[in-house]
């Protein structure tokens, strides 16, 4: 009978959302510049668009701290929160997705932001102009909404993200492992986060230090 494997505790590893911990590169430089240009925005409402895990929430947190904005999840939008939503003069609505939010509430928020001269930042994975919405006036507003696009990371930024994710978990890794992973896993922040979490968990369970060889074994990747 095989000996029992050690159970690794599933612990939350908080990622810093401070400005100094935001990693920049060609894929997100324009988005960061626009966030930092506040309040000199082209419009009081903007959409921050990019794939899962690309840093939208980090940028939104940076802006929220600067602008004194409240943050609300798109799934939590309801009519009761509209009157007080913009009391600080700024609001972030996170993780909007077509068909998964109350259209009338968002329409009222856009109107309220205009009337009160407040600022509204929306984060989403796809451009709002392409959404199929039932409220016609909301569709018009979304089509005219300025969009900040965050692209997939380049090689240098992706490697830096991997290093940061390991560092957040207090795992020391060498450049050899980072280079190995960066050229073999999907180039997205979401994939990097998932891989780092898996490697950390498996290394703990196997009671082995994390290395290139162990990573290849865990992820079923070629060793060379």
> Do 114 and 61 have their domain in common?
yes
* Sequential DSSP letters for the chain: -PPPPPPPP----PPP-SGGG----TTTHHHHHHHHTTT--SSSEEEEE--TTSSHHHHHHHHHHHHT-EEEEGGG--GGGHHHHTTTSEEEEEEE-TTSS-HHHHHHHHHHHHHHT-EEEEEESS-GGG---S-HHHHHHHHTS-EEE-PPP-HHHHHHHHHHHHHHTT----HHHHHHHHTTS-SSHHHHHHHHHHHHHHHHHHT----HHHHHHHHT----
- For the domain that residue 140 is a member of, what is the CATH number? 3.40.50.300
Q: Which of 149, 165, 190 is the last residue of a domain?
A: 149
Alpha carbon distance 162, 140 (integer Å): 40
> Do 74 and 126 have their domain in common?
yes
In a domain, 36, yes or no: yes
180, two tokens: 């190995």
In a domain, 138, yes or no: yes
> Do 128 and 193 have their domain in common?
no
What range defines the domain where residue 96 resides?
26-149
Q: What is the mean pLDDT of the chain?
A: 89
> Do 120 and 33 have their domain in common?
yes
> Do 34 and 52 have their domain in common?
yes
> Do 30 and 132 have their domain in common?
yes
In a domain, 8, yes or no: no
The number of distinct structural domains making up the chain is 2
> Do 110 and 165 have their domain in common?
no
Q: What is the pLDDT of residues 45-64, one digit of tens each?
A: 999 999 888 889 999 999 99
Read off the pLDDT band of 19 (50, 70, 90).
Answer: confident
> Do 106 and 195 have their domain in common?
no
> Do 170 and 69 have their domain in common?
no
> Do 46 and 114 have their domain in common?
yes
Q: What is the pLDDT of residues 186-221, one digit of tens each?
A: 988 889 999 999 999 999 999 999 999 999 999 998
Q: Which of 121, 149, 177 is the last residue of a domain?
A: 149
In a domain, 21, yes or no: no
Q: Note the pLDDT of residue 20.
A: 77
Q: What is the pLDDT of residues 75-111, one digit of tens each?
A: 999 999 898 999 999 999 999 999 999 999 999 999 9
In a domain, 20, yes or no: no
Q: Which of 124, 149, 174 is the last residue of a domain?
A: 149
Greater confidence (14 vs 43) lies with 43
In a domain, 205, yes or no: yes
Distance, CA of 55 to chain centre? 4
Q: Note the pLDDT of residue 13.
A: 56
172 φ, ψ (degrees, to nearest 5): -85, 125
Q: 């830096």: which residue's tokens?
A: 160
In a domain, 3, yes or no: no
Which whole-number Å values give the CA distances from 220 to 70, 86, 214, 217, in the listed order? 43, 49, 10, 5
Alpha carbon distance 221, 224 (integer Å): 9
> Do 114 and 145 have their domain in common?
yes
The vertex-139 CA angle with 85 and 46, nearest 5°, equals 50
| CB atoms inside a 10 Å sphere around CB 42 | 8
> Do 143 and 210 have their domain in common?
no
């Amino acid at each position: 009978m095989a000996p029992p494997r050690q159970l690794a505790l599933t612990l939350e590893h908080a990622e810093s959302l401070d400005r100094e911990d935001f990693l920049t590169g060609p894929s997100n430089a324009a988005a960061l510049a626009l966030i930092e240009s506040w309040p000199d925005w082209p419009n009081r409402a903007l959409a921050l668009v990019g794939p899962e895990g690309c840093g939208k929430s980090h940028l939104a947190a940076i802006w929220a701290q600067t602008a004194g904005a409240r943050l609300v999840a798109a799934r939590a939008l309801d009519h009761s929160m509209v009157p007080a939503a913009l009391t600080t003069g700024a609001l972030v609505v996170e993780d909007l997705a077509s068909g998964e939010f109350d259209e009338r509430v968002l329409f009222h928020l856009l109107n309220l932001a205009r009337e009160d001269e407040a600022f509204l930042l929306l984060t989403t994975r796809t451009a709002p102009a392409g959404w199929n919405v039932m409220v016609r006036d909301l569709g018009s507003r979304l089509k005219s909404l300025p969009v900040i696009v965050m692209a997939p990371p380049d090689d240098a930024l992706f490697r830096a993200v991997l290093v940061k994710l390991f560092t957040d978990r207090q795992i020391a890794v060498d450049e050899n492992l980072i280079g190995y992973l960066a050229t073999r896993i999907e180039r997205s922040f979401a994939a990097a986060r998932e891989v780092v979490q898996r490697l950390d968990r498996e290394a703990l369970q196997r009671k082995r230090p994390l290395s290139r060889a162990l990573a290849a074994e865990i992820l079923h990747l070629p060793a060379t």
